[in-house]
Structure formats: C-alpha cells, structure tokens
Amino acid sequence: AGDGDCGHTHARAAQAIREWMRSRPPPAAPAPLLSALADVLLEQMGGSSGVLYGLFLTAAARSLRGRSDSPAWADAMDAGIEAMQRYGGAAPGDRTMLDSLFAAAQALHSLRSPGADPLQALAAAVQSAEAAAEATRQMEAGAGRASYIRSSRLEQPDPGAVAVAAVLGAVLEGLRD
C-alpha cells in the first residue's frame, strides 16, 4: 500500500531510538521521555509517519505532565490520537495507523477503572491493535498514501496499522521483561 517505504521508515526510527538510548540515559519520567522520543522521531524517522508519531508523542507527553497514574496513560493515548486526527486529517476507518491506535486506545480506557492492571490493559490493547490492523485489509483507503491506489489492488493490511500494533507489542514485551 502506498509507496512501500513504511518498513524502511520504521527501521530507521528503531535505529535512531537505539542510538539515542546508547548515547544518553533516557528520561525516567513519562512526559520528558515521550517528548524526547518525539524529537528523535521528528528528526530521524522521516516521512509522514515520523511527523504523525511526533505529533502523537508530543500531545501524549503534554497530557502526562505531572501525572503518571494509570488513567493518565489512557488520557495520553486519547490526546495523541486527537492530535494526529487534527493535523493529519485521517479518522478511524480510513485504513491508516489510526485504526490500530484507536482500537488500542479503546482497550486502554480500562485503565480508568480502579484497580486495573496496566500490563493486562496493554496486552488487550495490543490484541485490539492487531485485530484492527488485520481489519484494514478489507477497508477502503480514505486517507494516507494508500488512498492513491485502487482498492482492488490493496490486498494487504495497512502497513502503518500493522506497524503500530508491532510497536505496541514491543512496548508490552519490554515492560514484561
């Protein structure tokens, strides 16, 4: 779908994050960590994905300032999605990375319940993101680069949606370790 650069763009982002983490200890507090990641992605990732992730992380970081409780993470996810929608112009159902992010956010809303287990909520969010990514296979592209291609030629799930699910899965794996 699109011009086929999604994998390369995400690989470049992963390498940039790895190099950044080797060069200095990442901030321990959530808001500065997400802000720093946004800067790395905006500078190094490239493409529209880099800009969108940067917008997402910047808005999420703003939402987390002074907070780190479980509900704050659900709020941060919503803030990031809102920023992506406002500046990117896509919405859930448009066959983009927002489909996975929105599904994950819905699962993370369970963090607003007292006693919610953050790892269980994130595991549910990963499963929801993966299912949403797979569901993009059957969607008409309403935004993003895939919207330039005839629907009959779009046989794979949206790569951005698949990438979001993979990123969330990696976060879960890292937290479990």
The tens-digit pLDDT sequence of the chain (177 residues) is 445 688 889 999 999 999 999 999 999 999 999 999 999 999 999 888 899 999 999 999 999 999 989 999 999 999 999 999 998 888 888 888 999 999 999 999 999 999 999 999 999 999 999 999 999 887 665 555 555 455 555 567 888 899 999 999 999 999 998
Give the per-residue pLDDT at 89.
Answer: 85
Q: List the domain boundaries for the chain.
A: 5-176
In the chain, where does DSSP find H-type helix? 6-23, 30-44, 47-64, 70-88, 97-108, 118-135, 159-176
> pTM here?
0.87
For residue 86, how many other CB atoms are within 10 A of its CB? Answer: 10
CA distances (Å), origin 123, targets 92, 107, 173: 21, 9, 9
Give the CATH number of domain 5-176; options: 3.30.930.10, 1.10.10.10, 1.25.40.340, 3.30.310.220.
1.25.40.340
Task: Report the alpha-carbon distance of residue 104 to residue 164 in Å, rounded.
Answer: 9
